[in-house]
Amino acid sequence: MPQYATLNASKANFDNIYDQPDPRGYFSVLGALDYMIPDVAQPIIRQILRARERRSGVPPAVLDIGCSYGINAAVHRFPLTFRRLRQRYANSDMAAVEPEDLARLDRNYYGSWPQVGGARFVGLDVSAPAVRYAVSVGLLDAGVIANCENGTPGPKDRETLRGTDLVLSTGCVGYVTERTFAAVLAATERPPWIVSFVLRMFPYEKIAATLGEHGLVTEKLAGATFVQRRFRDLNEFSSCLATLEALGLETGGLEAEGCFHAELFVSRPRADVEALPLGRMVTVASGRSRTVGTRYVRVGRGAETHVLRVPS
């Protein structure tokens, strides 16, 4: 099985936008390529977090591996989308704002939305500026700046990771391998659920085997893939198709149509899998985010529900 480093050679390199003081470069460069995995993953993540909360009775503590500027926390905790945030950060008047002024504006911005997701988020990323930004604007409760591919986190970081209930990642497996998952699992008090959206070009077997050593059973969601973004150019398109086909994967109807596709892997203790298999825990509803006209929405829980009319 090829190493991730070899497979990564076919993908475009975006390292320069991962370590800016704020997310403007991230949203403009990846937004221009229709990056959408936080948005398409979010309804699924919401269902899994609800199932986790039903299992334990408390809102889960999430660790977002490769959290970058806290985007998964933003789209889970607030009624926001990657697309909407892109409009904010790509606005021409925003381009002139100094990074420290932007952080102040963003603290107010995120603080002005109602919380729609109950989970608490801790982020782990190798990028110090991205993690610091996400903590400073209030998206993350805490951040771990570490590269667990090269070593184990220090005592303070292990303490931050200790209470993790669920480990999440979008767009990060490939940069991280089973080494990072092993380091995180070594720091947690009890085995967390692991929810990974993974590009099809990165085989998940080694990670699943490592998680298995910690008593976690991995399921892959059958019959669904999640678009991550468009290929940047012909070079990336051709080299990624060649990589996928060398792995024996059929690309017709998927990457051959011009976009990267990710799959969902969820790993949990066997008793949790037996109580509620992945195929019953999540439903993929295509088109949910594409409506533009007025919608009726039921909000609240149990006896406390009411119906809202959401204008277009």
Ligand X SMILES: C[S@@+](CC[C@H](N)C(=O)[O-])C[C@H]1O[C@@H](n2cnc3c(N)ncnc32)[C@H](O)[C@@H]1O
Nearer to ligand X, 60 or 70 (CB): 70
- Which residue in the set 33, 40, 71, 194 belongs to the binding site for ligand X (CB under 6 A)? 71
Nearer to ligand X, 124 or 216 (CB): 124
- Which residue in the set 8, 147, 239, 251 belongs to the binding site for ligand X (CB under 6 A)? 147
Residue 143 near ligand X by CB under 6 A: no
Q: Nearest Cα to 227, choosing from 291, 286, 292, 167?
A: 286
Residue 18 near ligand X by CB under 6 A: yes
Nearer to ligand X, 175 or 204 (CB): 175
- Which residue in the set 68, 196, 210, 243 belongs to the binding site for ligand X (CB under 6 A)? 68
Residue 141 near ligand X by CB under 6 A: no
- Which residue in the set 23, 66, 117, 191 belongs to the binding site for ligand X (CB under 6 A)? 66
Please report how many Cα atoms fall inside a 13 Å half-sphere around the Cα of residue 213, on the Cβ side: 12
Stretch that binds ligand X, among 124-132, 230-238, 246-254, 284-292 (CB under 6 A): 124-132
Nearer to ligand X, 130 or 273 (CB): 130
- Which residue in the set 61, 85, 173, 176 belongs to the binding site for ligand X (CB under 6 A)? 176
Query: Which spans of this chain sit near ligand X (rule: CB under 6 A)?
Result: 18, 37-38, 66, 68, 71-72, 124-127, 130, 147, 149, 170-172, 175-176, 180
